[in-house]
Chain A
Amino acid sequence: MIRILGLFSILLLFGCKKQTTYTAASSVQLATPLINSSSLFATENNKIEAPYLDAELGLEVHSIEGKKRTVFNSKENIALDEIGTYRLRTVNPPFLPSEWVELKVLPEGKAIESIDWITDPKPSYFKGGSAVLIDGKSADFSFHSKGWTGANNPFGLKVQFDTTTRVDSLTLGVLFNPSAWIYPISELQIKIQKDRSEVILKDIDFKVEGNLNEQKHVFLSFEVGEEANEMQLDFIPKNLPEEHPGAGTPAWLFLDELIIY
């Protein structure tokens, strides 16, 4: 009996080795889910949105304090009501968990009366109009979605306030997707108008760093420190950088949100 069990163990070992021709479930990672929040801001009504999450997947949510909670029904509401970064991933053993998705929750900004593109926008990437830039919502990763506005030529944005407003800083939501030639590398000129006088405040060069194979949603912040009735932002997208296969051709700049603090 003992010999039979010993032999069985050896056979089992060989049996397991034989399986290595094929990919095992335990070596395969779940796809990274497409997850968004219903708002960029910390409110009770800010919920997780995951329209394509498969029913068999668990969604692991790590709160700002690092508390873990796993839900198995993506329709279950989890309020994203704290300022900071939530981390989420899908789980379904024995598969490897998906990569983390980060959802940033920001403080609400100051009121903007209107926002307009000054230059003619590219119709294909202006489906939601300039209003998407102040709708308080992140766009999903697809640059085709109407939450994004994009250009690879110089363009301007005019921001108007209903009363004179103290602008400490501005935050821009941008897309980094180098495989689609979308690379936030640009010159930005900030002009302020107050009491009918226009002042060129800043001329900034910005570039988002990252791996050419990744895509991410990035928030960039710029100090202003002025009062304004109106503000103009002129963007001059630069050429794709040397490390990119399209180096020398214009980079696309895609924006989904502008917040004034």
Chain B
Amino acid sequence: MTSRRNFLQSGMFLGAAALSPALFWECAQGNPLIVGHGDFTYKVNPNWGVLDATKTPVKDCHEMVQTQNGDLYLLTNHTKNNILVYTLDGKLKKSWGTQFPGAHGLTLFDENGTEVLWITDYERNQVFKTTLEGEILLTINAPQDLEVYKEKGNFKPTETAIAPDGSIYIADGYGAQMITHFDPQGNLVNAFGGYGTEKDKFQNAHGICLDQRFDKTPTLLITAREQQAVKRFSLEGVHQNTISFPGANICRPVIHNDKCYFSVLKSTGVSNEDSGFVMILNEKDEVVSCPGASFNETDNGQSHYHQNLRLFQYPHDVCIDKDENIYVAQWNSGNTYPIKLERV
């Protein structure tokens, strides 16, 4: 005879048995998505760093860097707080900056043991060196000695790279497409590039970084975003080679250990506009992983890179932390905070 207690137990059992397949299914559905390829795969954490937008809002999240103590600095063009400083666990540590309406490029440089930031502002047509607390140490204006910059509005700097001697390379990705080289005091030393399709010219010289890997002579990696390519130059401004990534509009190169990472603003092999992803290159400049994307060979034998999942909107920069997690800052993504990709 079945007692009421036994019946309830049976009911629980039956319920569990009936629910379990569904729960398993839900759980399988809920399993973290793994993106990327080969040894570079990631879980996607969209909740990292989400803040109260009424207190610390963002507009476009343009770039991010990590300081020696592990803090992550995010640059946004929201003038309530141009810089948000995060701890590694995504909590807000502090914020500062109200004077950079065109805040775009953020570069960290260790200046004899003191870390400083370089901020480009394409609306103010200026580049600023600041302390980590936001004090402006140096301002570089449009180099009006150059004919192309007689009109200072032609200088719309998007990125800087700092050489070991403290001299500054500025990429003018939204302006005249020149790469200008200044000494540590901000005096113009050299200029090269400019708009064009030739190998040493640019269409959207958006990002620049110093490549000091493998004990080779340092070089500059400069992206030509609209040309879907990165171009390598000597520090004197001589073009060395061009690496093309058909389909991928790459923003700035970010070197971490022996790899080079890019955010890809958008790609041309799909029909949604918000078609960006992340790209990782090995030491031979070969693509080893594309979180959020896939690549296939076209009829002419070239690889073509395109978004396959709508995880990102317009990735504008990547920051790689000491555990090789990636933080993706996005442009025009509806005022959203960065997305964290946790290395698997």
Contacts and interface: CB of A to CB of B under 8 A. Distances in A.
Contacts of A9: 15-16, 19-20, 23
Nearest to A93: B29
Interface in B202-241: none
B122 to A, nearest CB: 15
A54 B308 contact: yes
Interface stretch (B60-68, B70-78, B263-271): B263-271
A25 B31 contact: yes
A31 B33 contact: no
A15 B23 CA distance: 10
Contacts of B306: 31, 34, 52
B271 A28 contact: no
Interface string A4-17: 01101100110110
B296 A54 contact: yes
A6 B19 CA distance: 11
Interface in A1-44: 2-3, 5-6, 8-9, 12-13, 15-16, 19-26, 28-35
A233 B125 CA distance: 42
Interface in A130-173: 140-142, 144
A179 interface: yes
Nearest to B33: A25
Nearest to B307: A31
Interface in B251-306: 268-275, 294, 296, 298-299, 304, 306
Given A22-B44, A28-B310, A51-B298, A33 B270 contact: yes
Contacts of B15: 9
A2 B311 contact: no
A94 interface: yes
Q: Is the interface of B mostly helix, strand, loop or mixed?
A: mixed
Contacts of A28: 33, 309-311
B39 interface: no
Given A32-B271, A101-B271, A23 B33 contact: yes
Given A20-B30, A22-B32, A28-B33, A13 B311 contact: no
A177 B176 CA distance: 25
Nearest to B269: A52
B43 interface: yes
B12 interface: yes
Contacts of A35: 271
Contacts of B310: 28-31
A257 to B, nearest CB: 18
B131 interface: no
Contacts of A197: none
Contacts of B308: 30-31, 54
Contacts of B9: 2-3
B136 interface: no
A55 B26 CA distance: 27
A213 B273 contact: yes
B16 A6 contact: yes
B190 interface: no
Contact of B27 (A3, A6, A12, A54): A12
Nearest to B23: A12
Which of A23, A33, A144 has the most B CB atoms < 10 Å from its CB?
A23
Interface string B28-43: 1111110000000001
B272 A32 contact: yes
A215 interface: yes
B293 to A, nearest CB: 9
Contacts of B32: 19, 22-24
B192 interface: no
Contacts of B187: none
Contact of B13 (A2, A29, A51, A52): A2
Contact of A34 (B17, B28, B269): B269
Interface in A40-62: 51-52, 54-55
A95 interface: yes
Given A24-B29, A28-B309, A54-B296, A5 B270 contact: no
27 contacts: A2-B12, A5-B13, A5-B16, A5-B17, A6-B16, A8-B16, A12-B27, A16-B26, A19-B30, A19-B32, A21-B47, A22-B33, A22-B43, A22-B342, A23-B46, A25-B29, A29-B310, A31-B306, A31-B308, A33-B271, A52-B270, A52-B304, A94-B28, A94-B29, A144-B268, A179-B273, A215-B273
Please give me the 10 A-B residue pairs with the lowest Cβ-Cβ distance, nearest first.
A22-B32, A52-B269, A23-B44, A26-B29, A32-B272, A9-B16, A31-B270, A25-B33, A31-B307, A29-B310
Interface of B: 9-10, 12-13, 15-17, 19-20, 23-24, 26-33, 43-47, 247, 268-275, 294, 296, 298-299, 304, 306-311, 342
